[in-house]
Structure formats: C-alpha cells, structure tokens
Amino acid sequence: MTMIHTPQELEIMLGENIKALRLQRNLDRQSLCQQAGVSLNALKNLENAKGSALMTLIRVLKALGNEDWVQNFSPKVTVNPLHMVRNKPVRQRASRRVARGNIKND
C-alpha cells in the first residue's frame, strides 16, 4: 500500500535526506555551499523544509554527487504500443479546460 504524503511532509523528507547525504560525506554547510554555489541561507532553507528554489536543490544534489535524483523525479516517457496501433499522433499539448459555467450537472 502506498503512503500518501502532503507536500510539506515530502519537503521535510527531502530536506532530511539532503542533510543526511551532507553529513555522510562529512561536509559542513559552508563547504557544501561553496561547492554548490549557493548561499548558506538557501541550504538551511532546503535542509529545514523552509521553502527552496529548484535550482538550489539541483546545485546541492550535483555538489553531493547525487544528480541522478533529478532524473528519477519522473519516469522517462515511453511509447505506448496501443497508441501505435491506433495511429494517433503524439499529443503536443494538453486539451483546453472546460469553463466552469459550461459544466452540466445531471
């Protein structure tokens, strides 16, 4: 059974994992900041789940040697064999949203 976490819980888990990786590599915050090219406050915010920029996360992961995490955020899109059978063109964009006033209630 899959656990469903809130965005805040996920942010806390991510921050804890980043901090654990840093300590595992015996790096203090200042050293990691210099290697990653981020400010000390940015790293503290990331580790303490206080909100952080995506670029900060990417730079810190790269400095820690874990940039493969970014590749694992979402699976690679593969071709679905059913789409090939139907000969439908590959979607280029999402469909338009239906205006709220046009929704029919049965």
Identify the structural domains of the chain with CATH numbers, from first to last.
7-71 (1.10.260.40)
**In the predicted model, what is the mean pLDDT of the chain?**
83
Contact 15, 47 (CB under 8 A): yes
Q: Can you say whether residue 4 is alpha, beta or left, with left for phi > 0 and alpha for psi between -120 and 50 degrees?
A: beta
pTM over 0.85: no
Terminal Cα-to-Cα distance of the chain (whole angstroms): 34
Instruction: Please give the pLDDT value at position 52.
Output: 92
Report the distance separating Cα 78 and Cα 73, nearest Å: 15
Of residues 105 and 45, more confidence is placed in: 45
pLDDT in tens, 53-90: 999 999 999 999 988 888 777 767 676 666 566 666 66
Per-residue pLDDT for 15 more than 90? Answer: yes
pLDDT in tens, 22-51: 999 999 999 999 999 999 999 999 999 999
